């Protein structure tokens, strides 16, 4: 079974997150070492959740941020995570017990000028 959810973000937020993944953060980005600068969670209909994160490295002066998807059960226990990635937009996919959980991060040009998460499918759906 495939579970799917979508997070829609502004083009400005997507551009900032992509830039952080391409090169070390600039001093004016005010990022903290070993923290997440983006962390948004979606819930699937079976109760599992997946957080999409942009993670700041231990040494942000020389390392770029990376992305990951982290899946939790309905009690908040971590089940699995994706391999670290170097791009923000796209799909984050985890297979758990023969079920695939996918979160897509995409932009929506209708919301230019906003620097936030715009919309998400509240419950992921299955196909």
pLDDT tens string, the chain, 127 residues long: the values are 999 999 999 999 999 899 888 876 555 555 555 567 899 999 999 999 999 999 988 776 778 889 999 999 999 999 999 999 999 999 999 999 999 999 999 998 655 554 455 545 544 554 4
Measured between alpha carbons, how far is 96 from 107 in angstroms, rounded to an integer? 27
Angle at 46 between CA 108 and CA 8, to 5 degrees: 5
Q: Give φ, ψ of 52 to 5 degrees.
A: -100, 130
Total number of domains constituting the chain: 1
Q: What is the pLDDT of residue 127?
A: 45
CB 100 within 8 A of CB 93: yes
DSSP 11: H
Q: What is the pLDDT of residue 80?
A: 97
Measured between alpha carbons, how far is 115 from 51 in angstroms, rounded to an integer? 19
- Domain holding 27, by residue range, is 2-126
Measured between alpha carbons, how far is 90 from 9 in angstroms, rounded to an integer? 12
CB 34 within 8 A of CB 58: yes
In order of 18, 55, 57, 68, 74, the CA distances from 84 in angstroms are 14, 9, 12, 5, 23
């Amino acid at each position: 079974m495939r579970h799917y959810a979508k997070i829609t973000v502004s083009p400005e937020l997507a551009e900032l997150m992509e830039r952080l993944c391409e090169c070390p953060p600039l001093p004016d980005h005010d990022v903290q070492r070993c923290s997440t600068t983006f962390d948004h969670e979606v819930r699937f209909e079976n109760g599992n959740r997946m957080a999409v994160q942009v993670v700041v490295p231990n040494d942000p002066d020389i390392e770029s941020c990376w992305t990951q998807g982290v899946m939790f059960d309905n009690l908040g226990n971590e089940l699995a995570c994706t391999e670290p990635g170097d791009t923000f937009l796209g799909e984050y996919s985890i297979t758990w017990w023969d079920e695939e959980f996918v979160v897509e991060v995409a932009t929506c040009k209708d919301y230019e000028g906003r620097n936030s998460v715009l919309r998400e499918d509240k419950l992921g759906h299955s196909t």
